Amino acid sequence: MNADSQIFSEDQLQLEIINGDPIEVRWLGKSVQRNPSQFIIPTLSDVMKRGSNENKMVVWDFTHLDYMNSSTITPVIKILETVKKGSGKIRLIYNKDKKWQDLSFSALRIFETKDGRIQVVGQ
C-alpha cells in the first residue's frame, strides 16, 4: 500500500485508491457479490467527484482483478454514464490477455469520447 492510499473492501473485492496525478483505483481480488453496486457506486462516485474537482484523470486499473461476476459490470456502466454526461476524465485499463476481461471491458469502448475524457485501454 502506498503512503497516500486507502483500501476499501467488501467481501473478496478491494478497491485501492492511490491519491496522485492521476488518481488511481486498483481493483484487487474478486467481485462475487450479488449486488456489488451498494459498495462500488458510492466509493467510485467519491473518487470521480474528487478527480473532477481537482481536474485530474482517474485511472481504473482492472489488470490485477482475478474475477468479477456479471453483476459487477452494472455499477461500472452507471459510473461511466455519469462521467460521460459530466466533465470527469477516466481511463479504464484491463488485461486483454485475460479472456474474461477482454470480453467484459472491450464492449465498454462505446463510452469512449472523442476528446479523450473517457478511454478504455486493453494492455
CATH code of the domain in which 49 resides: 3.30.750.24
Closest alpha carbon to 95 in 106, 81, 86: 106
Helices (H), the chain: 37-53, 73-85, 99-106
- pLDDT of 88 > 70? The answer is yes
Model pTM score: 0.94
Range of the domain at 24: 5-122
Q: Answer yes or no: are the C-beta atoms of 47 and 5 closer than 8 Å.
A: no
Closest alpha carbon to 45 in 74, 75, 71: 75
pLDDT tens digit string along 37-55?
A: 999 999 999 999 999 999 9
60 phi-psi bin (left φ>0, alpha ψ -120 to 50, beta other): beta
- pLDDT of 3 > 70? The answer is no
Give the confidence band of 2 by pLDDT, cuts at 50, 70, 90.
low
- pLDDT of 29 > 90? The answer is yes
Residue type, 5: S
Q: What is the pLDDT of residue 45?
A: 95
Neighbour tally for 115: CB within 10 Å: 7
Tell me how many domains the chain contains. 1
Burial 99-108 (b: 16+ CB within 10 A, else e): eebeebbeeb
Sign of CA dihedral 121, 65, 39, 5: negative
C-alpha 114: how far from its chain's center? 20
